[in-house]
Copies of this chain bind each other. A is one copy, B any other.
Amino acid sequence: MTAGRPSDGTRPSGMRCDVAVIGAGTAGLVAERTARKAGAQTLLIDDGFAGTTCATVGCMPSKLLIAAANAAKSVRKAATFGIGALEPAIDGHAVMARLREERDGFVAATLRSIDEIPTGICVRQRARFTGRTTLALGDGTTVSAKAIVIATGARPSVPKVFEPLGDLVLTNESVFELPSLPESIAVVGAGPLGLELAQAFVRLDVDTEVFEQSDHVASLRDPDVAKEVKRVIGEELIMHFGVKLKATHDGDLVRLAWSGASSGEKSFARLLVAAGRSPELHDLNLVATGIGVDDRGIPTVDEATLQCGDAPIFLAGDADGTRPVLHEASFEGFIAGRNAAAYPDVRPIKRAAPISIMFTDPPLAVVGAPRSDEALTGLASYADQGRAKVDACNAGLVRIYADRDCGRLTGATLFGPAMDHIAHLIAWSIERGETAGSLLTMPFYHPTFEEGLKPALRQICKAVNASELDHVDEAAPPGA
């Protein structure tokens, strides 16, 4: 048995520890490590130890599918630059084989980090609460802890209406196991995950259509940017908004009928549900803890401490139903692990400006606080932006939000080339209290996509009469 590998062997029927962590995903792994480094005796309880959501069924395999899709797109687009007129020859088996090979490499790296956990800490069992600080494991063992971290993650929500379709329904947990690309696919949900995968499939020659119950694309609140997202993504991909679905079997296919803002019927080889993920909390018997839960059954938690009420219970990662992205799960694991080890000396820990990125082409990033009606805004289009014209990707729209007093940045909705990178610039600037004026004194290299932010920043500067405007030349450089 490798040191640290989870054991199924015999154990004492009662275990004690300082901090028990339920769930060995990103948040749980960080929480356990943080608590252990703080001197706590820890247990890490998971029934699988199979790798993180990110590595197995989330960030990494989706980015791998996108990498293949963008390669196919690049082949088609090459003619724009004078490179013949080519149709990509897409080998679905090869696409999925590379995806899984690389994905498995990332999973293996996660498993190696589990191997490095000292012996006796990993416990391969299910756990349920029997009290505020006590757990019963699947094999009957009891665990008594001074504090407990819940880091059980989330699972895709599949509406009941699709359940009769059986294996024809895919989620992010099954789609990457397809041996090859399907002939056609209906994607349910126009959120970030749905659009990432739908754009990838259509670029890989899969007949793809997106169906979304609401009118919202990518959960965007900014109507102008939303319109541009629908326009640009819609040039490649058929999307139906404001529709309700009925699904039946059609031989080996899914027969989908939609109605509402539009109506129609079509058969698809598969149906991919990307309609959100729900925290995995139902098997925990949370009622035994006495902590408060909201109407979805999610414990009410202090965002700064991750403590559930006044209990020695902490909630981290996708299990809390907010910010379901890796770097937040990781940081929440840190907060929860730190506070669980220090309990009752629980301290608030400052959260960084939120970032959410949809890795479509072009990418969409939402940074900072949600749009408020009081905010000043600056808008910039990439339709005529210099570097974007050079690279024949001149589309997109960004809106930057700032407070009315001095133009201090509060958030941004960014849709356009390189916005996955530019999101970091904006988030870091929000963290540091930069204003639109102070950013205009920063170096912007030419010709870059970063320059395309300047018109939006100037609009905010003018609205607050920022003094920095006297210190920068307002004219765009040629071609910017």
Contact of A94 among B68, B82, B95 (CB under 8 A): B82
Stretch of A47-55, A221-229, A269-277 on the interface side? A47-55
Q: When the two chains form their complex, are residues A333 and B91 in contact, meaning their CB atoms are under 8 A apart?
A: no
Given A71-B80, A78-B74, A425-B425, A475 and B33 contact (CB-CB distance below 8 Å): yes
Q: When the two chains form their complex, are residues A81 and B95 in contact, meaning their CB atoms are under 8 A apart?
A: yes
Q: When the two chains form their complex, are residues B54 and A446 in contact, meaning their CB atoms are under 8 A apart?
A: yes
Stretch of A97-105, A126-134, A232-240, A288-296 on the interface side? A97-105
Q: When the two chains form their complex, are residues B105 and A389 in contact, meaning their CB atoms are under 8 A apart?
A: yes
Q: When the two chains form their complex, are residues B98 and A91 in contact, meaning their CB atoms are under 8 A apart?
A: no
* A478 contacts chain B at the CB level, 8 A cutoff: yes
* A249 contacts chain B at the CB level, 8 A cutoff: no
Q: When the two chains form their complex, are residues A86 and B75 in contact, meaning their CB atoms are under 8 A apart?
A: yes
Find chain B residues with CB under 8 A from A443 CB.
Answer: 327, 352-355, 424, 427-428, 431
Q: When the two chains form their complex, are residues A109 and B478 in contact, meaning their CB atoms are under 8 A apart?
A: yes
* A30 contacts chain B at the CB level, 8 A cutoff: yes
* A284 contacts chain B at the CB level, 8 A cutoff: no
* A421 contacts chain B at the CB level, 8 A cutoff: yes
Contacting B at CB under 8 A, from A68-85, are: 68, 71-72, 74-75, 77-78, 80-85
Contact of A477 among B74, B93, B327, B432 (CB under 8 A): B327
* A107 contacts chain B at the CB level, 8 A cutoff: yes
Measured between C-beta atoms, what is the minimum distance from A172 to chain B in Å?
A: 15
Stretch of A11-19, A59-67, A155-163 on the interface side? A59-67
Q: When the two chains form their complex, are residues B479 and A59 in contact, meaning their CB atoms are under 8 A apart?
A: yes
Q: Which of A93, A113, A349, A424 has the most CB of B within 10 A?
A: A424
Measured between C-beta atoms, what is the minimum distance from A419 to chain B in Å?
A: 10
* A357 contacts chain B at the CB level, 8 A cutoff: yes
Given A83-B88, A102-B390, A424-B443, A113 and B475 contact (CB-CB distance below 8 Å): yes
Q: When the two chains form their complex, are residues B77 and A83 in contact, meaning their CB atoms are under 8 A apart?
A: no
Closest to A367 in B: B443
Measured between C-beta atoms, what is the minimum distance from A92 to chain B in Å?
A: 8
Find chain B residues with CB under 8 A from A471 CB.
Answer: 334, 349
* A1 contacts chain B at the CB level, 8 A cutoff: no
Please, how many angstroms separate the alpha-carbon atoms of A280 and B7 in the complex? 76
Closest to A418 in B: B421
Contacting B at CB under 8 A, from A438-480, are: 441-450, 471-473, 475, 477-479
* A23 contacts chain B at the CB level, 8 A cutoff: no
Please, how many angstroms separate the alpha-carbon atoms of A349 and B72 in the complex? 49
* A399 contacts chain B at the CB level, 8 A cutoff: no
Q: When the two chains form their complex, are residues A81 and B98 in contact, meaning their CB atoms are under 8 A apart?
A: yes
Find chain B residues with CB under 8 A from A34 CB.
Answer: 473
* A208 contacts chain B at the CB level, 8 A cutoff: no
Find chain B residues with CB under 8 A from A26 CB.
Answer: 477-478
Find chain B residues with CB under 8 A from A92 CB.
Answer: 82
Q: When the two chains form their complex, are residues A390 and B475 in contact, meaning their CB atoms are under 8 A apart?
A: no
Closest to A64 in B: B390
* A377 contacts chain B at the CB level, 8 A cutoff: no
Find chain B residues with CB under 8 A from A447 CB.
Answer: 54, 59-60, 63, 326
Instruction: Offer 13 A-B interface pairs, CB within 8 angstroms, sorted by A.
Output: A60-B478, A80-B98, A82-B90, A110-B478, A326-B477, A327-B443, A330-B473, A349-B471, A352-B441, A357-B445, A420-B445, A427-B443, A428-B443
Binding site for B on A (CB under 8 A): 26, 29-30, 33-34, 51-52, 54-55, 59-60, 63-64, 67-68, 71-72, 74-75, 77-78, 80-86, 88-98, 102, 105-107, 109-110, 113, 325-327, 330-331, 333-334, 349, 352-355, 357, 386-387, 389-392, 418, 420-425, 427-429, 431-432, 441-450, 471-473, 475, 477-479
Top 6 A-B pairs, shortest CB-CB distance: A84-B89, A82-B94, A74-B74, A421-B421, A82-B95, A106-B479
